[in-house]
Chain A
Amino acid sequence: MRPKLRNLLAINTVKAYPNWLHYLPTVDSTNIYATRLAEDGLAHHGEVVWALDQTQGRGQRGKQWDTRPGENVMMSLIVQPTGALTRSPAHLNMMVAATIARYFEAIGKNWTVHIKWPNDIYVNDKKAVGILIENVFRGMQWTNAVIGIGINVNQTNFNPELTRATSLKAESGKEYDLFEIINDLRSGLLNELIYYKPELFKHTLQQYNQFLYKRGEEVRFTHMPDGTVFTARIIAVSGDGTLILEQEDGMHTYPFGSLQWHL
């Protein structure tokens, strides 16, 4: 019963693991794993599940993600909903997206960084990041939020059907250290949570809207509940996370998950 893990672990370059890290060569999905840890009481605020490969990686509404083992960041940060921010999933979502967008501006000086509502990050007009936040309840108590982040990092070959996919390396030509990105994002997100106050949400919302993809432009959407296709101008995202669109008959708001983009 030799652990196969040993060979896979050698891929990883990190010499000393910090105590907040659950490192896995392969897992069904880091979010599923982190959720299980949380449900079993084995997870604490600030811990990260990191995997080199996912067999059931998924995005919003179960969309598949074309990823190659060891080339991309697949992480789930476990937080406890304590501060003002984490009481509202929409606020948490916006804070996470805005923090990652700011980070990308810091590491890619010439990149154009956008947030595609509700929770993808685009670099130079292509998708580089997907975010999936899931909540763990024990009885009626919201015990944890699992912030799943998938980033295309060093992958340069993509499924040709995914014309809107890119990676950090594809945009900069540089190879990145996966652990460094994970460590940076963990610090950045946890620091945001430490100092979050309700008054700060205005600022987060403003930041999110500054990064908003196709803001002021006309985009075609499918309205998921009834399948109607329509064109509308993107105005902004409101405080509750809904997308405000200008249509022929005026302004309308659309909740999370109700629209599919045509790009």
Chain B
Amino acid sequence: MEYKQIQELLKAVNKSNISELSIKDGDFEITIKQATAEAPITAIPVAQYQPMPQVAPVAAAPVAAPAPAAPAAPVAEAPAAGGKVIKSPMIGTFYRSSSPDKPPFVGVGDEIKAGDVVCIVEAMKLFNEIESDLGGRIVKVLVDDGTPVEYDQPLFIVE
């Protein structure tokens, strides 16, 4: 299937009431799912970043079958009861230490106070130290060292 055809299909499904469509052609298979019932495309919430619902996997890897409907962005894990979350104030790459041979700024069990540096987020080759806006004990590190983070993505759970 040509990419353009997939694109056309997506449009068609988007404009229809179909909630799910599967097509098989030899070893090529594609499944398109509507994210919600209120799929009509006119209103895009302006303020927040939407991690592409169903379209991205198809666009990104046209040969992958079936196209998953699950959002690929790491879903914010619900903080443990009573837990608070330190979120990423920017988009970039998350680092737990100032350089590969240095120990992490913080680890599970560490007590931190507001203003302590907890990680680095690198964007455009600039390394930004991220300070915690709250105090407590780190109970979970939600992101792996060296992986991309989006704005507002939870990084640590603090109790």
Contacts and interface: CB of A to CB of B under 8 A. Distances in A.
Interface in A13-37: 17-24
A40 B59 contact: no
B124 A184 contact: yes
Contacts of A194: 90-91, 151
B125 A5 contact: no
Nearest to A14: B60
A263 interface: no
A41 B124 contact: no
A214 interface: no
A17 B52 CA distance: 13
A45 interface: yes
Nearest to A33: B7
B25 A44 contact: no
A214 B71 CA distance: 48
B14 A102 contact: no
Given A3-B63, A23-B59, A40 B41 contact: yes
Interface in B93-111: none
Contacts of A203: none
B26 interface: yes
Contact of A106 (B1, B62, B72, B126): B126
Given A187-B91, A191-B91, A194-B90, A45 B50 contact: yes
B49 A46 contact: yes
B9 to A, nearest CB: 12
Contacts of B42: 41, 138
Contacts of A262: none
A251 to B, nearest CB: 35
A233 interface: no
Interface string B67-94: 0000111000000000000000011100
A19 B72 contact: yes
A223 interface: no
A106 B125 contact: yes
B145 to A, nearest CB: 16
Interface string A47-72: 10000000000000000000000000
A103 interface: yes
Interface in B115-159: 123-126, 148, 150-151
A237 B48 CA distance: 32
Contacts of A11: none
Interface string B24-61: 01101000000000001110101111111001110111
A174 interface: no
Interface of A: 1-3, 5-6, 9, 17-24, 40-42, 44-47, 80, 82, 99, 102-103, 106-107, 138, 143, 183-188, 190-191, 194
Interface of B: 1-3, 10-11, 14, 25-26, 28, 40-42, 44, 46-52, 55-57, 59-63, 71-73, 90-92, 123-126, 148, 150-151
24 contacts: A1-B1, A3-B63, A9-B61, A9-B63, A18-B72, A19-B51, A19-B71, A19-B73, A20-B51, A21-B56, A22-B56, A23-B59, A23-B60, A40-B11, A41-B42, A44-B50, A46-B49, A47-B52, A106-B124, A138-B42, A185-B124, A187-B124, A188-B123, A191-B92
